Every structure is written in C-alpha cells, then in structure tokens.
Structure 1
Amino acid sequence: MNAHNWIDLKQDADTGIETLRAHFQGHAYDPHWHDSYLVGVTEQGVQQFNCRRAKHQSTPGKVFLLEPGDIHDGEAPTDDGFTYRMLYIDPQWLTRELGAVFDKAPDNSELSFANTLTTDLPLAHATALAFETLHRGELKIVRQTALDALLEGLTRHLHWRTRYDQDPRLPLVAQKAREYLHANAQYDIGLDQLAAATGVDRFRLTRAFKAAYGMAPHAYLVQLRLATARRMLSQGEQPTTVAMTLGFADQSHLGRWFVRAYGLTPALYRKRCSNLPDR
C-alpha cells in the first residue's frame, strides 16, 4: 500500500453499519463487491471508479450509491489523491427501517439505487452527519436521529426492483456458472469443471462470463470468497479459520487478496469490526 494511504474503520454495534474514512493516492483497490449497500461522500480530491459498465468521477460533495453485488474499483487520477467517508449498510436493516417509509414492499422485489453517483447536497450532508454520529459513538438518540435523516434522503434515490430468479439480461451460461461458483465457492474449482457444469467449452464460458459480470470466473470466485471472508471476520472469526474454511491456500494468501480489495489486512478488519482481541 502507498505510504500516504490510510484507513479508519469502525462498526456500530446497534445497527451493524460499518463506517469507513480513508485516503488513497494512485491505485486504491481492485474490482470487488460487497454484500452491503454503500453510501458515501467524497471529501477531497477526485475519486474515480468503474461501476455498471461506466467510469465515474466523484468530487467533493457528490454522493456515491452502490447496491450489494455492484462490482467497482477505485483510483485517484490526480496526484493529491482523494479522501472519502463511507457507510456499509446491511440490506436487512435497510429494508426493515424503510418499512416505516414505504407502506408495503412489492412482492419478489429488492431495493435498488437509480444512479451510482448523484449531486444531492442535503443527502451529502445527511450522509456526513450519520457517519460522524456513528463513528464517534454518540448517544443512541443522536445516532438514530441522524440515521432517520439519512433514510429520508435515500428515499429520493431508491426504488423497488424486481428480483429475477433468472435475469433475462444475462446469458444463461453465465448465470449457470455464477450459480455453480456460489454453491461451490470453498472448493478448488477448475475452468474445465465449471465448463462441464454449464455445457460449453471453457473459452466460450470465459467470454460469456466476462460479458455478463465484467470479470473472469476466477476473479469472480476470489471476490465471492472475499465477501464471505469479510462477513466472517466481522463476526469475530480468526483469519486462519476464515482462510481454511473458504479454500485459500493459507492465511497469507487470504491477506494478499483482502488488502488488494479492501485496503487493509483481515486481522485489522476483524479487530476494527468485532472489537475482539487477536489470539
């Protein structure tokens, strides 16, 4: 990691929301995704990232909104780098809390952000305030008031999207491969094995998968394992246990991939989120 880069991460015990403030120069992190909804604001500099097949540049005051599974990367195109604040919001918590705002969620649906990047000053202010109250561990009534303001601001950008069992926008072979990876993520899966499970040769499989998800099957498998690792570590699991459970060669192998995706080590992430000592 660049010597000028830094990360400050905490987790709110009541809501499970992670709060992260970070600064990066140059390359920040490789393409990856999260199981959470991401709501963040850029404080300083230009935050450049690719998401949903488009390149975005977030500048101070802009709000970036990512759904669970949105693949994104990050870099600083200018020498002074960028600083940002981010909230990682649990989908179940968000859906439950918004139940007070929406009368009834449509059947077979999930919350979706209309745009990845938006200029909404009230929402930017609400995001920054929610971050501060959670990150500093303010009184519960103060944190809840700030979160209510954030939720109110988010409703202008959220809509209910139909949840597809089979997404018609994606090639069937890519969907089959993705389902196979999710079902067998802990195993040492080869391309030939994955191709056999989808009924095509591995070259067609790789092309279809890249076209559908923006990365090769092996990269998707690594990111799938990392998303699970992040969840396990936040629950207090030891990095050695996580590496073994998810099929990484060893703890150092997990560590290298984790740093590339999230900018900090598994042990540090576990410590910041679980408040448990290392053994």
Structure 2
Amino acid sequence: MTAHNWIDLAQDADTGIETLRAHFEGHAYDPHWHDSFLVGVTEQGVQQFNCRRARHHSTPGQVFLLEPGEIHDGNAPTPEGFTYRMLYLDPHWLEREVSAVFEEAPANSHLSFTTTLTSDPRLALATHQAFQSLHAGELRIVRQSALDQLLERLTGQLQWRQRYREDPRLPLVAHKAREYLHAHLQQDVGMDELALATGVDRFRLTRAFKSAFGLPPHAYLVQLRLARARHLLARGAQPADVATDLGFADQSHLGRWFVRAYGLTPAAYRKRCSNLPDR
C-alpha cells in the first residue's frame, strides 16, 4: 500500500457487519471475491472495476452492489484516486432480514442483485447513513433503524435467482470441481487429483472452470482460502495459525495474497475486527 492509500475498517458486534472506508490511487486490489454481499457508495473520484464480464466506472453518489462469489478488482483511472465506503453483509443475515418482504422464497434459489452499479440517490443516502451509524458505534436503536432504512431501499435491487447448480451456463464438471475445492480447501490439492475427481483431463477442466467462475482452479482455491482467513482472523485467530490451518506455506505467504486482495495485512485486519492485541 502506498503512502497515499489508506483503509479504515471496523466490525459491528451485534450483526457482524464489517464497515470499510478507503482511498486508493492507482492500483487498488487484484481480482478477488467475498462470501458477503457488498453494498458501497463512491464518495470521491472514479472507481474502476471489472465484474460480471464488464468494466464499470463508479462516480460520486453511485452505489455498487456485489454478490458473494463475484470476482472483481479495483483501480483508479484518474490521478486523484477514489474514496468509497462499503458494508459487508452476511448472506444469512440478509436473507433473514428481508424475509418479511418476500412472501416465500422460490425453491432452490438465493438472493441476487439486479444490477452491479446504480444511480439511486435514496439508496446512496441509506448506505451512507447505515455506514455512519455502524462505523461510529451509535446506540443500538440508531444502528438498527439505519439498517432497516437500508434494507427498505435495498429490496428494490434484490431478486430471487436459481442456484448455480441449476444454471445451464455452468457445466457440470466445473460445479463438481468447485464442490471438491470447497471440501478440500485446507489440503494441497493438485490438478491431477481435481481432474480425477471430475472425470475429465486437466485442460478441459481448466477451460470449463474458468469459463464458469472467471478464475482457473488454483486461483479460485487461493480466494477460497482468503475468504476463510477473513473469518478466522475476525474471530481472533493468529495470522501464523491461520496460514498453517489453510495450507499456505507460511505467514508471509498468506500476507502477500491477503494484501493483494484486501489492501491490508492479516494482522491489521485481525486487530481492527477482533480488537485483540497481537501476541
């Protein structure tokens, strides 16, 4: 991270929602994904990112919406960089909170955003206010009211979508490989092993997987481990222990990947989310 870039991260104790405000100039972060719903608003500058096979440019007041698992990157195409604030919403929390809005969820479906970028001033305001109340640790009733207002505005951007296993765009071999990686994320999985588990050769597997999920299997496994690392660090686990548990070579190996994806070190992330000192 350069001297001009900064990140301010916190976590709400009641909901587990992470709040992040950051500024980047030039390159911000490599392609990665989260297992949370991301709702953010650009404050200043132009935030350029690739997602859903398209390049987006978020300008002040625009709201960007990313689903769990959606690969995205980030950079500043203009010299002054960009500043944004963002909420990380747990999928189970979000589905529970919006259940009152939908009479009944369709079978084998999950929540999805209708768009990646929107110019909705009321949603932008609700996002800003929810961020402010959570990040500043306001009274519980203030935080809950702000989140209710955000959810009310957010439902206009939500829809139910069939789960990926029913999506004909995702070949069965890619689905099988994805499930195998999730089940063996702590192991030193090789391509031969993954190919054997899916019943195709390594080259067909790589093409199918990248076509379905936007990353080759090895890169997906790294992102899967990083998402798990975030959870463990937020609960107070030591970076060295997390690196060992998730199959990274050592703590510095985890650190290099973590910084590239999230813009801060595992130790810094742990400290800001768990409020626990390093040993």
For structure 1, the 5+ residue unaligned runs are none
In the TM superposition, what whole-angstrom CA distance separates every residue of 1:181-208 from its partner, at most 9, and x where no partner exists? 1111111111122122222221222122
Mapping of 1:1-279 within 5 angstroms? 1-279=1-279
Secondary structure of the equivalent of 2:160?
A: strand
Task: Give RMSD over aligned pairs.
Answer: 1.1
For structure 2, the 5+ residue unaligned runs are none
Offset at 1:76? Answer: 0.7
CA distance in 1, matches of 2:234, 2:166: 31
Offset at 1:21? Answer: 0.1
CA distance in 2, matches of 1:139, 1:173: 49
CA distance in 2, matches of 1:90, 1:174: 25
Preserved CA contact (<8 Å) 2:43 2:85:
yes
Structure-2-length-normalised TM-score? 0.97
CA distance in 2, matches of 1:103, 1:197: 40
CA distance in 2, matches of 1:249, 1:102: 46
Which amino acid in structure 2 is aligned with residue 2 of structure 1?
A: T
Preserved CA contact (<8 Å) 1:166 1:175:
no
Offset at 1:164? Answer: 4.1
CA distance in 1, matches of 2:207, 2:164: 22
| Distance change >3 Å, CA 86–CA 263, structure 1 → 2 | same
CA distance in 2, matches of 1:247, 1:50: 29
Which amino acid in structure 2 is aligned with residue 110 of structure 1?
A: H
Which amino acid in structure 1 is aligned with residue 174 of structure 2?
A: A
In the TM superposition, what whole-angstrom CA distance separates every residue of 1:61-97 from its partner, at most 9, and x where no partner exists? 0000111111111111111110000000111111111
CA distance in 2, matches of 1:271, 1:146: 26
Preserved CA contact (<8 Å) 2:164 2:170:
no
Which amino acid in structure 1 is aligned with residue 220 of structure 2?
A: Y
CA distance in 2, matches of 1:107, 1:191: 34
Secondary structure of the equivalent of 1:278?
A: coil
Offset at 1:215? Answer: 1.3
| Distance change >3 Å, CA 164–CA 203, structure 1 → 2 | closer
Secondary structure of the equivalent of 1:156?
A: helix
Paired residues in the alignment total 279
Preserved CA contact (<8 Å) 1:28 1:75:
yes
Offset at 1:3? Answer: 1.8
CA distance in 1, matches of 2:107, 2:83: 39
Preserved CA contact (<8 Å) 2:165 2:175:
no
In the TM superposition, what whole-angstrom CA distance separates every residue of 1:91-147 from its partner, at most 9, and x where no partner exists? 111111112322332332211100010110000000001000110011111111111
Secondary structure of the equivalent of 1:77?
A: coil
Secondary structure of the equivalent of 1:50?
A: strand
Q: Determine what percentage of the aligned residue pairs are the same residue.
A: 77
CA distance in 2, matches of 1:107, 1:205: 29
CA distance in 2, matches of 1:94, 1:7: 25
Structure-1-length-normalised TM-score? 0.97
CA distance in 2, matches of 1:91, 1:134: 18
CA distance in 1, matches of 2:211, 2:161: 22
Secondary structure of the equivalent of 1:142?
A: helix
CA distance in 2, matches of 1:202, 1:163: 26
Which amino acid in structure 2 is aligned with residue 261 of structure 1?
A: A
Secondary structure of the equivalent of 1:229?
A: helix
Secondary structure of the equivalent of 1:247?
A: coil
CA distance in 2, matches of 1:216, 1:5: 30
